[in-house]
Amino acid sequence: MALRVQSLAELEVLCNHLYEGTDLAQRMQAEKVLLELIDSPECLSQCQLLLEQGTTSYAQLLAATCLSKLVSRASPLPVEQRIDIRNYILNYVASQPKLAPFVIQALVQVIAKITKLGWFEVLKDQLIFRDIIADVKKFLQGTVDHYIIGVMILSELTQEMNLVDYSRPSAKHRKIATSFRDTSLKEILMLACSLLKELLAKPLTLQDQQQQSLAMQLLKLVLNCLNFDFIGNSADESADDLCTVQIPTNWRTIFLEPETLDLFFDLYHSLPPMLSQLALSCLVQFASTRRSLFSNPERAKYLGNLIKGVKQILENPQGLSDPGNYHEFCRFLARLKTNYQLGELVMVKDYPEVIQLIANFTITSLQHWEFAPNSVHYLLTLWQRMVASVPFVKTAEPHLLDTYAPEITKAYITSRLECVPVVIRDGLEDPLDDAATVFQQLEQLCTVSRCEYEKTCTLLVQLFDQNAQNYQKLLHSSSRNPLEITVQEGRLAWLVYFVGTFVGGRLTYTSTDEHDAMDGELSCRVFQLISLMDAQLPQSSNEKVELAILWFLDQFRKTYVGDQLQHTSKVYARMSEVLGITDDNHVLETFMTKIVTNLKYRGRCEPVISRTLQFLNDLSVGYSLLKKLVKIEAVKFMLQNHTSKHFPFLGISDNYSLSDLRCRTVFYTALTRLLMVDLGEDEDEFENFMLPLTVSFESVTQIFSSSFEQEEAKRMLIGLARDLRGIAFALNTKTSYTMLFDWIYPAYISVLQRAIELWYREPACTTPILKLMAEFMQNRSQRLNFDVSSPNGILLFREASKMICTYDTIVSSSCCASLDYIVTYLFKHLAKEGKKTLRCREISQDGQRLLHFMQQNPEILQQMMSILMNTIIFEDCRNQWSVSRPLLGLILLNEKYFSELRATLITSQPDNRREVLDHCFRNLMEGVEQNLLVKNRDRFTQNMSVFRRDMAEALRSEGASDPGSLDMMS
């Protein structure tokens, strides 16, 4: 008994180290010992000891964790033993219902795992693990604590049955889950609903923690039942797109009873926020029930009950002030339109009142933009889908969307304009900074805005004119208040985004000539704003306005520029009167002027430059547009003047980070596409285009031949590599590609080789160069099919392989040097453990971590030794000296493992060769001592050179096994 108490004390100390310890070494040691405990034969007895005599909750948690791992093994315990474990845990939690919640949760998980993995197991003609519901009902007859444990068991079991274990066959999981669904899940759901009814029938006390805990566990149980993967979709839980719950047909009776929905609406109104949001989560799933579960009359009745519940919530909205309730209710509203047609919604008795309530709720939500911003997505989804359904409604009942959709659009627009001064003055997070969310919401809004488009456009024109006039007044004011100017620019940025959104909405909604004319009115104002903003350059510029303008230009391009455009479109009527823009050719001129202006004057604003170049790239895709673009003066200017003098972002000054140079690839891809339109076989034209790059390469060559400034040369080469990659990407014909090959080979490709040799340690330099070579080797559109008499293919292969080999050799040597440093450190400290020295040096904390990690994971060094031995014996090792340095330390640290590797290789060979190989290995360590002094290392390196030669001859000789079949990696 004393021994067991001592063992218990040791285990509890380890538990404290594991769950509460701050010392990393102690925690890692505790993990190691506890992993050994799971693998030991005494695991069950030790777990029982911890559960029955442990003095802390962590001891009990450790026992539960060990049992969970034990029952989850690929090779299961005997059936009888698993039955004993399950019954023991059931009795244990029944006898100690006051355990810490996390301990009960962990023990309940063990029961769930045992039940799932043994679902089909038979003992004495009985499916012995399926009587779990009967066991749970015994808990329901006990105290409230027992009641809660019983519900937790069912909830955990339902969740476990739904959980895919990817380490096991998916077919087996699906078979178990399907059987559980068909035999038990309906009964569990009905039991949970009846228990909730009983709970609701009693007076609810908000201060009663037991009552709240029970309500929470019951609601979680219902939610787990409704979230069950009924048909094996294995949907990602983080995704909210799969909005249909595939309820089994035999559950119809539960869903047809009005009392079922009423129960959860009543629970929402009765419970505190933390619990009422669980009731709403259940209602989200009820609203998502597959349509085919009901007949048409049944579906209409079910929808009517849902709408009645929505009306009750909105008429008493106090609970929605809680963010959790608010979010779940927004999800609930979105699911209504996802699973029911607008024609069905308008037929509901209370539809007019409810749609008005939902509209008012949405408007209020949009006005309070800072409250739960992630929930707005669901409200906009509801309105987007409802408006998109209007053309398909066949019923005579009014949908009333023409009344409320413009109000929703107006609320979104005005709320965003009103948030600007608050954000700027109070230093809040600007919604415009979250581009992904803004674009998602604008995409939804564009559909809503097209309903009663005249009202939307009238509002936007009024707001745009008002804000643009205020902005001009501020610019011409003698005081020029910077804060007011920034506020006005923020509002203009939002308005430009709205115009771009509504113009882009033409593609998603039935449009008319009147709508196109309205788009022309709106677009005129943005083009005028572009002129106003560009007139302030280079003294003043606003990033947010510029990004919004680029968004608008891209939306206008997609909608009104190109082959899809009807040239008689009314969009140009108003633009012709105001701006003189009569067709898409004039628009393209405006586009290119704006692009050149941005590239010339906004070179230090990476987001604007990046978006501008992406816009240029999008314009350059499509031959019909390219033919129009090359006639524009701004394009001709770019093709002839692509230097840092005219476009500062092409410079290499320290003002730009290395990552900013990435956008140059996009620039040169677009530029080369424009060049290709009329290039043909004109080599002189190509040489002229490449002249700025030629000058840069010649500068780098001169820098290399003198005592050079590394940083300048490096930045120049990174830029050149990115430029050339863009050019190579766009050259898709054999003729044009050959021009580039003749330009770069041989003079400039050798510069790239030199850069790889010099800066192999710096990915910022090597990555662009290697990506350039990868692009250069792409046989896109058969461009590498050189003539039969041309040596270019061989030359290209030679240069690429030379670069790869150079980089590989240098990096390998560098890795070996790093490994040697680590191994030497380990050898000094591990090999000398226990030896007394005159001076004892303190090891740093990082050093302690490394030593501890290597002691716990010796296989890492062993694997490295295997790799290096494979390299020496079987590969064309060009850096023997570098490989030999860490290899000696690895051998001295792992002499036993080295002997095993040696024996493995020798025994794999024929008898008549074994003596020769054994002699090679003996010679390898001949005269080598147990230290890492330079003299000893040099001796080992000399031995290894002879060893490699002798091993190669022995393995090549007649009768030796195929060396390729040897596996040194153990």
- Model-wide pTM > 0.85: no
Alpha carbon distance 926, 950 (integer Å): 14
Q: Is the pLDDT of residue 833 over 70?
A: no
Phi, psi torsion values for 768, nearest 5 degrees: -60, -40
Alpha carbon distance 58, 62 (integer Å): 6
What's the count of helices (H) and strands (E) in the chain, helices before strands? 44, 2
Q: Is the pLDDT of residue 583 over 80?
A: yes
839 pLDDT band, cuts 50/70/90, is very low
Higher pLDDT, 310 or 834: 310
Whether the bond into 538 is cis, omega within 30 of 0: yes
Q: Is the pLDDT of residue 238 over 60?
A: no
Report long-range pairs for 633-638 (Cβ below 8 Å, ≥24 apart): 633/589, 634/589, 634/592, 634/593, 634/595, 634/596, 635/592, 635/674, 637/596, 638/596, 638/671, 638/674
Phi, psi torsion values for 123, nearest 5 degrees: -135, 120
User: What's the confidence (pLDDT) of residue 840?
Assistant: 46
Mean pLDDT of 272-281: 92
User: What's the confidence (pLDDT) of residue 964?
Assistant: 45
Mean pLDDT of 181-204: 91
Span 465-514, pLDDT tens digits: 999 999 999 988 887 788 999 999 999 999 999 999 999 887 666 667 88
Higher pLDDT, 479 or 437: 437
Alpha carbon distance 80, 86 (integer Å): 10
Quick one: which of 196, 217, 218, 191 has its CA closest to 133?
Answer: 191
DSSP code string of 910-960:
-HHHHHHHHHHHHHHTTT--SS--HHHHHHHHHHHHHHHHHHHHHHHSTT-
Report long-range pairs for 98-105 (Cβ below 8 Å, ≥24 apart): 98/145, 99/57, 99/60, 100/57, 100/60, 100/61, 102/57, 102/61, 103/57, 103/60, 103/61, 103/64, 104/149, 104/152, 105/152, 105/156
How many CA within 13 A on the CB side of residue 186? Answer: 13
Entry field: residues in the chain: 970
Mean pLDDT of 856-876: 85
Given a contact cutoff of 8 angstroms between Cβ atoms, the answer to whether 885 and 911 are in contact is no
Would you tell me how many other CB atoms lie within 10 Å of the CB of residue 26? Answer: 16
User: What's the confidence (pLDDT) of residue 654?
Assistant: 66
Span 747-800, pLDDT tens digits: 899 889 988 888 888 888 899 999 999 999 989 888 888 888 888 888 889 888
Considering all CA atoms of the chain, what is the largest pairwise distance in Å, rounded to the nearest integer?
Answer: 101
> Which amino acid does the sequence have at 941?
T
Q: Is the pLDDT of residue 836 over 60?
A: no
Span 86-142, pLDDT tens digits: 999 999 999 998 899 999 999 999 999 999 999 998 887 788 888 888 888 889 888
Query: Helices 513-534 and 584-601, interaxial angle, to 10°?
Result: 30
Alpha carbon distance 568, 571 (integer Å): 9
673 pLDDT band, cuts 50/70/90, is very high
445 pLDDT band, cuts 50/70/90, is very high
Would you tell me how many other CB atoms lie within 10 Å of the CB of residue 105? Answer: 15
Q: Is the pLDDT of residue 237 over 50?
A: no
Q: Is the pLDDT of residue 212 over 50?
A: yes
657 pLDDT band, cuts 50/70/90, is low
Q: Is the pLDDT of residue 963 over 60?
A: no
Q: Is the pLDDT of residue 81 over 50?
A: yes
Given a contact cutoff of 8 angstroms between Cβ atoms, the answer to whether 572 and 581 are in contact is yes
Alpha carbon distance 888, 943 (integer Å): 11
Arithmetic mean of pLDDT over the chain: 87
Q: Is the pLDDT of residue 835 over 70?
A: no
User: What's the confidence (pLDDT) of residue 848?
Assistant: 73
Q: Express as a percent the part of the chain with pLDDT over 90.
A: 45
Would you tell me how many other CB atoms lie within 10 Å of the CB of residue 770? Answer: 17
User: What's the confidence (pLDDT) of residue 859?
Assistant: 84
Span 593-637, pLDDT tens digits: 999 999 998 877 889 999 999 999 999 988 888 999 999 999 999
Phi, psi torsion values for 536, nearest 5 degrees: -85, -10
Phi, psi torsion values for 941, nearest 5 degrees: -60, -40
User: What's the confidence (pLDDT) of residue 209?
Assistant: 84
